[in-house]
Amino acid sequence: MTEPPEPPEPAVDGRREQVTDRLWRWDRDVPLRWLLVDEHADDPGLVLGVCAEIDGLFVDLTPPPEPERYTLLGCEPAGRLRAALDRIDTDGAWLGNLVLDPIRPADEDDGFLLEHLLDVVLLGHRPSDLAPGLVDIDLR
């Protein structure tokens, strides 16, 4: 991979050259088509590599994978979730994007454990065996 020379000084408007502004070249017989860029590094736009093609990314999966299903056990629903339980129909109730955030004592900071659930649909609910008054909730 041949990287172009250092970026020019900032333009008059103060804008620095972005990684997408650069002209990337390499000495290969196949055309260069993709930059792999780390957008979350301390240096935004850090290029991790270049490649000629990507296989398997822009294809239709046949058949599409079944959506994952989850059951939340022993829940005390509130807010939007409570309202969704009251309006659920045969197609379920759409909840959108949710985050599961573990509850743990302050002295047990063992890192980032969030789990993102995307495009969630509430499928059903029933009384929980864990404790009276709680429900088990089925999600997709």
Q: In 3D, which of 26, 21, 1 has the Cα closest to residue 10? A: 21
The domain locations on the chain are: 1-59, 70-139
For residue range 14-29, what is the model confidence (pLDDT) as tens digits?
Answer: 444 455 556 677 788 8
Q: Are 37 and 46 in contact (CB under 8 A)?
A: yes
Residue 19: DSSP 8-state: G
Strand partners, 137: 72, 125
What order do you get walking across the sheet with 115-127 strand by strand?
70-75, 135-139, 115-127, 93-100
Model pTM above 0.85: no
Buried b (16+ CB within 10 A) or exposed e, 100-112: eeeeeeeeeeeee
For residue range 74-125, what is the model confidence (pLDDT) as tens digits?
Answer: 999 998 898 888 888 777 888 888 988 887 766 766 666 778 888 899 999 9
